[in-house]
Structure 1
């Protein structure tokens, strides 16, 4: 590399601890290295660690290099003055501009990494000032030797994870839970009942909870500082100290208060901000690929990417033998039109079964989004050829793209037409009677919507409209297992929403602060990191998001449209209409079919009454009933059952197999 080369830090893993008492660990170096190396998959290229304060503080880092492995980018890294030392997982996309600002103030740099730029920005502007300037995805831990203080921070959207565990006398942190469990104070954690309840309802665990008591997630766009000599004593105390340097609340509230009046002006502003975000994410000295489905989000991102490259972009898609979920033909046609070099991976049930067995290593916390399977396999496919991939994540949440939005709005309209007392009575209707009613309706009114509604869906509909308000109705709509003990209100109900948002925007907002960081971005991070692949998401640039909240209603999901009008209009500037107006299939798998076929044996094992009773958290009789209904073909309970299966597999790996880690370590 020449003197003008740059080093982008890239993806990696961080871990470490604080021993407040100074008496917890006989061999802190060994503990730190074990924590660090449990994240080898996140950074296979190198590892570093440092002990401070006589071994009371440990910082560990695993490194995945995009440009080079020069020592000037190695971590843990100390600032030029020696005051700060930190570990950092992520990328700062605007670091050239930050570097220029610092250089103008007299800062001299030893190397060319974004890591050093961020650290020197912290030295010059303070942590909050540096975070506000930084545009990227990251999680970090920072030790201020002068103040004897440690700080943690996370990016605005929560793209990069950061878990923090706190018990009396000890703190441990890491990019994944498996790192924290290597610390002796967290080797045998207990399940958090509320977290398990949320998982049963939603299929993921919302922040700040984790599946374990005394371990939580630092919220997106937040930072927290604690004195090394002042033990916070418990996790709740620590998390109550967090502060925000950006907020989705402000972005949405300010955006909706300053909407664009003119559609053309809005589209031009969006095209400019998204184009800049794509361009920033193409900086690399290694080939960059992109996920390409037949959908609008990834298609637009790939088109903008191709416009900014001198050669052919590399695009990748995953296909299925089941035509209802296969998008390979659409993706191939689009790739041909924009001139990208395109590769397809066909996913058959056998490879899916193989991936299912690996999921509990990839996800060390219960997680039940079935698209985790193709995400892992396509990440491996892309990683065999490139180290960096561009994705289209974020289009649904910020531009009104989920098909559940119009469905929920239709249910809300229906709920408003029915008196509350009548709605409450309807929830007691047995499902067999609902079945009979819908079949009779189909006979009396052939082709009617109600006639195509199965008893299970009718039961769900009645449960939704019986809820007391829109937020609870949306929570019910998104929930799988409703009657679970102890979870309390989910973020869907409890999140503070800016005034003046329409019902569509309210759904977009709660998805942006819960489903996006705790499901979508967890899936992207874990599956890509399992393959040592770095994924960049231009639609999740905070400036793009702030622009998206300013879109007029006509560019979101007007009645009778498929949503994401703004993105469709930008794509229409580049491709024929027939490549845009295609049915949305999503990045899913034919789960209902697979559970009756190639995954049936696995399902039988984990859904048995004995297994469900042993685990708790699920009603074993309800699970058994839905499993039999699913096998008979009378119902499609695939997503509900998958949640149970994933929890059971996770529990077996992480709670019932205490010798597994020792065997693997040996």
Structure 2
């Protein structure tokens, strides 16, 4: 795993020292090596930080030039089938075992998009075409690896993280208040937006083509189209055939991701997804797989005991670490540094601590991320459909009346009712929704409307107008695959693991697994009142149901309890009203009201306050 960075500035000479500063801003992404390539005539410069995984020799040094001299690449990721591709590129005189060289050979032989469609892996890279004088920025299908780009005068900057762009002395953009509004709704900023004006995330499965005429965006893979195509041509085999097919495609995906020239392990929570990954890893491996888990002393948040039970059954080499409020306080100041735009999934902290734990022993770790989105694992899918069906049973006249009443009831009046007022507002808002997409967006939002960002409206995003898919469950899966997965889950895993100089691999998001999951009828995902039915059947071949069948917990922290006790001083200091008022971004009086009522135990606004806390932490670190 690595970090990429670069400058394209037609008519201007790139500065070597500036590029070096941008590279050094991402040393955590690649502590093993760094490199730069600069061409003054072509007005382009590439930088790279390297975490050596495949071919740890100097032959894997980047940026790398193709044998023909046409292409320069700075690449972050892994191409798991690169050895298979080499067998089809026998005329290319390879000098290394690096997958970077395989990419260059494939692009030289087949062209860029045909090569991309044959890659199995995770990646974000910059490719300079010296013949056509064009820069390509490319992101993998599911958005596992990140890349940002920004307009700077007549040129462009790009990098794996925003901090690399901020290292450029002329990168001084204004904060994007519209994107900030999206952040407080979702706890993350969905692509293509970033926290800064004129700066964007490249969306999953897309490429940016940049030359002296400007920038064009193109999709080379479209999850939306793949998902809908799968639903139109559904798997028609028996249950046993489906289990066998899923097991087969998972074994291929996991086996490919166990290719490494450095020590390798896995995250294990004891849940269905990570347990399946570890069980299949252990089947493939000739020695005990190294597994890692995080626990809490608070029982309702603690998954470590379940992870240990799975590890014991599979005979893995297991390590666990219990997190305390003190551990939280120790790492909280660093969170804004690692997530260099506002991000408020509270599991970011245990994910970082887990990555740090694993990095003491291994350089690569597999995770079970993606299972909930692919196989309908979220409890909210059950809640949302049940609530929407109840709303639909109400006569249209009743819904219209209640929706109208909701608009005239002052927030101040409902605030006086505490938690009951919050519930009343929530239910009236839900009843007023005209379609399921609006309802689900509202249902999954943190701040349901623009309550605290001053003077701004919410912009349109990929989440705004996603067409129906034919069934509510399939639509929710797709909605989460397009935004929540890449912009929350995968962002969290990338930043947390890279902060610890650890490469995290996600076999469930192999595009062949995604395509198979897209083709499954909902009856093979949801059965007997539970999601992930088919994935469970694969796991039950390796681990008894008595060990893995339990209520879903998630990977959060005891947020409410800790913010009201051990983290109270930190919370109150960060949300000081005078500080927020001086900054001028948020409604200080609203924040003060929320904080006071939360600390008095009147309403459980912990997640809302965590969102504000993470923004305040980011603001202190970066602005």
TM-score of the aligned structures, taking structure 1 as reference length: 0.89
Given candidates 79, 82, 98, the residue that maps to 1:95 is 82
Distance in 2 separating the partners of 1:557 and 1:206? 28
Q: 1:225 to 1:434 in 2, by over 3 A?
A: closer
Equivalent residue, structure 2, for 1:22: 12
Cα offset for 1:231? 4.3
Task: Determine the structure 1 residue equivalent to 2:18.
Answer: 31
For 2:380, the equivalent position in structure 1 comes to 404
| Cα root mean square deviation, aligned | 1.9
Q: Among residues 99, 104, 111, which one is paired with 1:114 in the alignment? A: 99
Q: Which residue number corresponds to residue 159 of structure 2? A: 174
- Distance in 1 between residues matched to 2:55 and 2:511, nearest whole Å: 28
Question: Which residue of structure 1 aligns with residue 66 of structure 2?
Answer: 79
CA contact (8 A) 2:267 2:365 kept: yes
The answer to whether residue 346 in structure 2 is matched with residue 363 in structure 1 is no
Q: Where does residue 43 of structure 1 map in the other structure?
A: 30
Give yes or no for contact 2:55–2:98 (8 Å, CA) kept in 1: no
CA contact 2:137–2:209 (8 Å) conserved in 1: yes
Deviations 1:414-468 (A, max 9, x none): 2212223133035255789889999xxxxxxxxxxxxxx9543343232223222
- Residues 275 and 596 from structure 1, CA distance in 2 versus in 1: closer, same or farther, beyond 3 angstroms? same
The superposition leaves residues 316-360 of structure 1 with CA deviations (integer Å, 9 ceiling, x where unpaired) of: 110001100101111111111111111111000000111111101
CA 1:184–1:170 in 2, change beyond 3 Å: closer, same or farther?
farther
- Corresponding residue to 1:603 among 566, 571, 574: 571
Partner residue in 2 for 1:208: 192
Runs of 5+ consecutive residues of structure 2 not aligned to the other structure: 451-455
Q: Judge conservation of contact 1:170–1:185 (CA < 8 Å) in 2.
A: no
Matches of 1:155 and 1:323 in 2, distance apart?
Answer: 38
Check whether the contact 2:310–2:548 (CA below 8 A) recurs between aligned residues.
no
- Deviation digits for residues 625-646 of structure 1 (CA, Å, limit 9, x no counterpart): 2212211122111110011111
What are the equivalent positions in structure 2 for 1:236-251 lying under 5 Å apart?
A: 238=215, 241-251=216-226
In structure 2, distance between residues paired with 1:163 and 1:157: 16
Does the CA-based 8 Å contact 1:615-1:648 persist in structure 2?
no
Question: TM-score of the superposition, structure 2-length normalised?
Answer: 0.95
- Secondary structure, aligned partner of 2:137: strand
Give CA-to-partner distance per residue, 1:157-187, whole Å, 9 cap, x none. Answer: 111110001133121000000111122331x
Change (3 A) 1:500 1:211: closer
Tell whether 2:459 aligns with 1:492.
no
Q: Secondary structure at the match of 2:300?
A: coil
1:394 aligns with 2:370: yes
Does structure 1 residue 567 correspond to structure 2 residue 545?
no
1:151-300 aligned at under 5 Å gives the runs 151-186=136-171, 188-227=172-211, 230-232=212-214, 238=215, 241-261=216-236, 262-300=238-276
Match of 1:515 in 2: 484
Instruction: Give the drift of 1:54.
Output: 3.1
Contact 2:402 2:432 in 1 (8 A): yes
| 1:578 paired to 2:546 | yes
Indicate how the Cα distance of structure 1 residues 371 and 530 shifts in structure 2: closer, same or farther if over 3 A, else same: same
Q: Match for residue 340 of structure 1?
A: 316
Task: Kindly tell me the number of residue pairs found equivalent between the two proteins.
Answer: 613
Aligned counterpart for 2:2 among listed residues 6, 9, 12: 12
Give yes or no for contact 2:227–2:478 (8 Å, CA) kept in 1: yes
Post-superposition Cα deviations, 1:75-129, rounded to whole Å, max 9, x if no partner, equal 11000111111110000011111111111xx222111111100111011111111
